[in-house]
Structure 1
Amino acid sequence: MSTQMPVPYAESRPLPPYRALLAVDAKDFTGLPASQHGPVSQLIPELVDQALERAKLHELRDAKRFPASTGDGVVFGFDPSWLPYVLWPFLGVLDDTLGAYNRQSVGPRIRLRASIHVGPLPDAGDQGDGNGTARNDTHRLLDSRPVKAILAAASEQVTHLVSIISQRVYEDAVLGAYTGLHPDRCVEVPATVEGKAFSQRAWLYVPSPSGNLVRAGVEPREEFAEQTAESVHEERDTMAGAETHYSGNTQRVGGGAAVMGNVGRDFKYTGPSTSYRGTNQHWGGGDNVSGDKRIGESGDPR
């Protein structure tokens, strides 16, 4: 029996239920030897399930909707009521789980990108469940330039996960204060995908930012975002000539240092003078800046 194709705008029909989506994939998967592709493909969903258990989300682990392997990752839908808990604590626990695995593993390091989105998707127990615009956008976010550039720039010893949150999820769960993830831990980015007609406002959250990430800046210039993992490291020296500006809670970084989340111990940045413009800049130690402040000259350590 042939499948009947709906005619757009010819009549009204029920809206599919809203489903949240989580998608993850591994960095540099295609660069692994062919013999490791299968084991890594099996390992990634196992690590995700371990993190769900450790985050006390056993019910969510057992209630996944239309789960699928993508070869270098996994995607599944779930009830949107779980979104606040996926944002916090799950993403942080997943980062910890990856870190623990990478420290004891003799195999390839597993470093992941994750995207979180929500939207109407068919979910009636049929073969085509989970397919729709929301699913497509989830994968576009996962492949977007900012999340790839940040994971490439960060230290593989410290930063094991970089996540990107859609605007809809950010507004509903984060700004709505339903999650433990504070808005100040997120950085707004323009999510674009090379070669695709896709452009959305989104938000990056890095559970464990590293010194490399601080140096590179959490919102790279467009040229920097277009670089591959190898050229990201070569680009850093040319980025040192730009100033860093702070305005309110939004950090826009052309070069220099930007801090997101908790950064332990001390770090030293050598580069051009740095300008702070804003109010209520809160730091765990050091300066609390209100108004404009300029620190040092080019080459001075901070």
Structure 2
Amino acid sequence: MPEFSDPKRRVVVSVDMESYSRRSNALQYRAQQDFRRIMDEASAELGVHRPAWLQQQAGDGELAILPPDASERALVGNLTPTLDRLLRQYNMGRSEEGRIRLRVAVHQGLVHLDGANGFPGDAVVTACRLIDSPVLKDALKRRFPRANVALMVSDQMYTDVVCHYQDLRPDLFQKVQAELQDKGFSQPAWLYVPHENAAEEDAAQPAPVTPSPRPAAAEPPGTQVFRDIQAYGPTVFGNHNTQHNGEHR
């Protein structure tokens, strides 16, 4: 009997709420309920039956393994815009501490579905590292403070899905390096924010300019030029300096 069953190739989605721990107990309770409702509505619009998502819950989000018939194209192209629309409606008129803003990471790969305490597999680890990467957190906290959701897809998902089908414009994605130094994780990934041009920051960075050496100025006739030379006899002029008319000798 094998030690474990064969892994399955599945799409992995990780979703986290921004600034969850800063909320009061009452707001955390309410945010969890609203988060589940928003995710249920989004999955229904995508045509992916929510109970078929294998979910590993956390207070501020979830990790989900999608069913084998889930469309990668529909997920990558539609999940973030759908969440953005639902969150805009939800957040309208709410205080800053009451708003729900989401980070989403999408990857795919081999996953063991029968783990004793979760879903073993490098694809799951990668999705969790992407969602926790500082560059994705910075997108919501600093770069796009009014955005409701930010998406990060792995380099593979960007190439296979975004570039080939273009349900989301590839030129609006920014290539970033997702890094967690304490975890030894560093991989290229792609950042997208609905209604924003995440790639704009790259275009705004001017190319470094190497200053050209300034040409030596021509010395007009009769200029006194100081040289590290010694002169004797009739050529002595001041403190070991020479005077010449247009030619260096």
| Same-fold status (TM-score > 0.5) | yes
* 1:110 matches 2:100: yes
Alignment partner, residue 18 of structure 1: 9
* 1:198 matches 2:224: no
Which structure has more relative contact order (CA 8 Å, sep 6+)? It is: 2
Separation of aligned partners in 2, 1:62 and 1:70: 17
Which AA in structure 2 matches 1:201? P
Alignment partner, residue 58 of structure 2: 70
Alignment partner, residue 148 of structure 1: 137
Alignment partner, residue 160 of structure 1: 148
Separation of aligned partners in 1, 2:82 and 2:183: 32
Separation of aligned partners in 1, 2:144 and 2:171: 22
Matches within 5 A, 1:22-171: 22-53=13-44, 56-65=45-54, 67-79=55-67, 81-105=70-94, 108-124=98-114, 127-128=116-117, 130-156=119-145, 158-171=146-159
Separation of aligned partners in 1, 2:155 and 2:16: 20
Which AA in structure 2 matches 1:166? S
Which AA in structure 2 matches 1:173? V
- Higher-Rg structure is 2
Deviations 1:7-43 (A, max 9, x none): xxxxxx8751101011111111111112322221222
Structure 2 unaligned segments of length 5 or more: list them.
208-249
Question: In the TM superposition, what is the alpha-carbon distance from 1:114 to its structure 2 partner?
Answer: 0.5
Sequence identity (%): 26
Question: In the TM superposition, what is the alpha-carbon distance from 1:160 to its structure 2 partner?
Answer: 0.4
Question: In the TM superposition, what is the alpha-carbon distance from 1:194 to its structure 2 partner?
Answer: 4.4
Q: Taking structure 1 as reference, are residues 202 and 74 closer, same or farther at Cα in structure 2, changes over 3 Å only?
A: same
Question: In the TM superposition, what is the alpha-carbon distance from 1:200 to its structure 2 partner?
Answer: 0.4
Alignment partner, residue 184 of structure 1: 171
1:207 match: secondary structure: coil
Which AA in structure 1 matches 2:17? A
Which AA in structure 2 matches 1:40? A
Separation of aligned partners in 2, 1:205 and 1:168: 15
8 Å CA contact retained: 2:10, 2:109: yes
Separation of aligned partners in 2, 1:15 and 1:5: 9
Separation of aligned partners in 2, 1:200 and 1:60: 31
Structure with the higher fraction of residues in helix conformation:
2
Between the two proteins, the alignment pairs up a number of residues equal to 205
Alignment partner, residue 173 of structure 1: 161
Q: Taking structure 1 as reference, are residues 200 and 19 closer, same or farther at Cα in structure 2, changes over 3 Å only?
A: same
TM-score by length of 1: 0.61
Alignment partner, residue 287 of structure 1: none
- The RMSD of aligned alpha carbons is 2.7
Alignment partner, residue 222 of structure 2: none
